[in-house]
Every structure is written in structure tokens, then in C-alpha cells.
A and B are shown apart, each in its own frame.
Chain A
Amino acid sequence: MLDLEVVPERSLGNEQWEFALGMPFSQAISILQKHCRVIKNVQVLYSEQTPLSHDLILNLTQDGIKLLFDATNQRLKVRMAHLAQISNSHCIHFNSQAITPTIEQIDQSFGATHPGVYNAAEQLFHLNFRGLSFSFQLDSWNEAPKYEVRMDRFPSIPHGAMVKRMHIYTGNNLQETKAPVMPLACFMGNIFAEGVDVLRDGAGPLGLKLRLLTAGSGLGVMADAKVRYVERSIFFGDSCQDVLGTLGSPHKVFYKSEDKMKIHSPSPHKQVPSKCNDYFFNYFTLGVDILFDSTTHLVKKFVLHTNFPGHYNFNIYHRCDFKIPLVIKKEGADSQTEDCILTTYSKWDQIQELLGHPMEKPVVLHRSSSANNTNPFGSTFCFGLQRMIFEVMQNNHIASVTLYGAPRTTSQARPESSASSH
């Protein structure tokens, strides 16, 4: 039995949890997981082939609630509830238990608004408030045509009409709504990245410039209710303490086990097992992994995750909204360079057009977690170009980008670290 309070343009929830607009996908998942005994049968709906064309939807089938997440930034955009279905099992704050919300109750609770809009195709009346809209189903009355031709041109909704569904969103228009910025309550002391720029020179990537934002500490009293933006940069060859000071401590540290890819190393020493193992700093909320060398404790690699649904690691990382500037040298006119930017949403065939087709065959990554279950998403393919490795999913989207530094003995230009200045 869910007892939820509606705050237009903001949230839906109770005193224990709330789905706030702008909330990241993983946070909503985590709320649902914590209440797995109450909320069951949740569907995750996404488009496999074109994941950006459709919102990512969490469908709480038993509760008639649907959470729509923006396909690009994966933050909560629209929340809708089927009140016809939940009226028996749900209480919204304005109706007591087991009473279906009607037009009168809505009037009472939310006050007056513009007249309703009738949608003939859906046979629904929409009553819009700012950040909140109700839909009334009229086909039970079979009166819809009548309302359309009324003289006052502003059909009123018949008394006793039952709310079929309710939308909560930001702004005035449901169709144009966007996910708002992340609410303060969702930070909880975590650091998020608004964007990650890959710094690079002609030969390859050098480091990352992250636009970080954070707010509050999650301890309630402490929360200085202000979002802070800051730009920080990290580079290959930075020390552990450099990274810790720049990005804060990672969520997890993962020690690599035996490096299976070492078999491909061109170095003749590849068969000598290294004594120590490299380790990853997992920054889940940034969508970034940083690999450190075991002996020198310096940054060796960055892995940027796109968190597309349909990938094995979906919902582990937040989406890293990266931009990789490319300098394309046109072969005909040698002086002409073209600036292109690769983003999280670029597709592999576009990348190939820009970077050229990799000469080598790809590496196939099957991910299978144990004997009992297989990876249902199929394998992914890794292509290496210009010291970047693109993991490409079946739908041509990039699953992750691994950036590795130049072999440590080559020359590389490294701009002065701007990490310290902010």
C-alpha cells in the first residue's frame, strides 16, 4: 500500500522516500530496491536499437506509476500515475483511502486552472496545472462529442469524472518538459560531473577536464543549500593523491586480477606475471574509472562509461557526458584541420567516418557473470583508435571509452595542471 504525496513540479513520495524530478535513474532504482518487498514487478523500458529516441521508463506495474527518465541525461523527467488503477491501493494526499479522486476533489485540493483540453484521439480530457496535469477518461460517459461542440468552447469536465492518470513534470507543458537540474536532496554529498572534456593533443588523449558539481553533505543539517560548480583536470601520470584531491575519494577501489589482456601485449615481458596488480578508482557518479599503476601509483588509464541501457554494466555507473575533440587532418589540403567533437551520443559509424576505419579486427567482449546466467545483451566490440578504445554495443552506440596514455617513455606535451586552481 503506497501512500504518496504529490508536489507539483517537484516530487511524489512519502516521508521515507520521494521521487523528485531531476533525480538520477540509479537513485530511483535504489529507492525501489530498498522497498523491494512493497514494490514488485518493476519494468525497465527502453529502446534497444535507438536508446536515445525514447525515454527510459520505470514502470511500477503493480502500483500504476510510471517514471520517465530523459534518454540523454537519465534524470527523472515525468512521473505519471494511473489513478484509475491505483485509486484502490493508493492514497494521494488529497483523498482518503479507497476513494477515487474525482474532479471535485482535484478542484478542492489544487484550486482552479485553465479549462480542460480534450484530446479526441485518446478520448481524454486533460486538466493542466503548472507542473501537474490530470487526465479524465470520458468514454464511459460517451459524452465526449457533446463537449466538443459546446458553445462556450471551454468544455467543463463532467462532475464525478474519475481521474484516469496524473502527470507530474516541470514547466507548463507536458509535451515540452525537460528534466530539471538535479535537486539538492539528490546529491547526498556525492560529486557529479556535468560534463567531461577529454584533453588531447595530436597523438592522443592527455587527461580529463571535469565540470564537477556537488551540494550539501547529505547529513541534513550540514547541507549548505547551494550547488557548487568547479572545473578540475586530471592527467595521465598524476599521483593517487593528486586524483584524490581533485575528485575526492572514489566510491570503490577495484584491484585488477590477472590481466588477461596482457597476452596481447607487444612487450616481450608479457609472460612475466607482474608482482602487484593495478587498481581502479571507481567514480560511479562521475561515470569514470581511473586505473593506477601498481608500482608507481600514477594514473595509467581513464575509462568513461555511457551507461546505455542494454549494456551489461547498465546502472552501475552514471552516464559520463564526455566530449572528445578530434582534430581531423584532411589528406588533400594538409593545412586544413577540422574540429569535430565526439560525444557520449555519437555512434560508431559516425566515429569511423571521422577517425577512419580501424585497420584491425575488433576485440569481442562477452560478459557473463557466472555459469548460471549469460549476458543477455550480447557481446560488445572494442576498437582501438588513437589511444582510445571504443567499446561498441550492438546498436552502434558507444558503451565505454578507454583512454590510455602514451607509452610512458614517449614525449608528450602536458599542460600545466590546472587542477589546483579553482
Chain B
Amino acid sequence: MAEDIKVIVFKLGVEEYGIEVDKVQTIERMMPITRVPKTYSFIKGVINLRGVVIPVIDLRGRFGIAEAEHTDQTRVIIVAVNEMEVGFIVDSANDVIDLNRDSIDTPPDVVGGIKAKYLDGVAKIGEDRLLIMLNLSEVLNKSEIVQLEGLEG
């Protein structure tokens, strides 16, 4: 048996996603965001998190899913990867679960419109829940963004 990990579960649309808990710093309610001009459209701007200025990404926009209105449930998950602190805007975040590494399978090519390289795997929890594990360093990979923008532009 491989080790158990704790995973934060959040939602984008109907899909459930997971981020390992040790990469998450805090989960915040929506707060005022200062727009930053002349940058990627999915970067919503910067927030003031207890005195530190942190850029915020709309995860829907990052994965090319249509962006949604912010609701009471909308949360900002602050993650720290490779010494970068970034906030993810997600539809809701309300669960922490224990997951065994063995239960994570390699992902199919595309899940819910997200390319496989952004994913670490897919975990089956309970009878009919699928949890999509995010590969954070790929999600935040900047060189890849430049290519992406180049293609779109």
C-alpha cells in the first residue's frame, strides 16, 4: 500500500478537482481584485493577502472553460509552488479527503476539456465520484502560457 495523502477538493462546473493539501496555503472568500493591465486574460489581477500582493488566476479561464459569475460559493485557493504564490479562483471548495496514492490512475488524454499534461491522474472515490488531480507546476508553467498565447493571438 502506498501512503495516504490529504487532498483539497474543489469544483469547476460539475467536475471535482484535487490539490494536495501541503501545496495549499489558505482558502479565502472572494475579495476585491485589482486588475493588472496588459497581461493574460485569465490573470484576473492581484489581491492583498495579509500584506502580500498575490496574483490571481481564473482557473476556468486557464483551462479554456467559459468563465462564470462569482457567487457566494466562489473561493480563492492560494497555492505555493516553486516559490511562486498564486491564487486560483474556483467555483467552490468545501472538502478535504484522504486519498491513497494507489487509487490515482493515469489520466485519459482529455478530461473535462483539460489536457492531460495539466493532470497528475484521476482518482475514483466512493461509488460514482471522480476526482481530477491537478499537476500544479504544469498549470503554472509560464513558458507554456507564452506558447498558448502565441497560438491564440
| A joins B in a complex | no
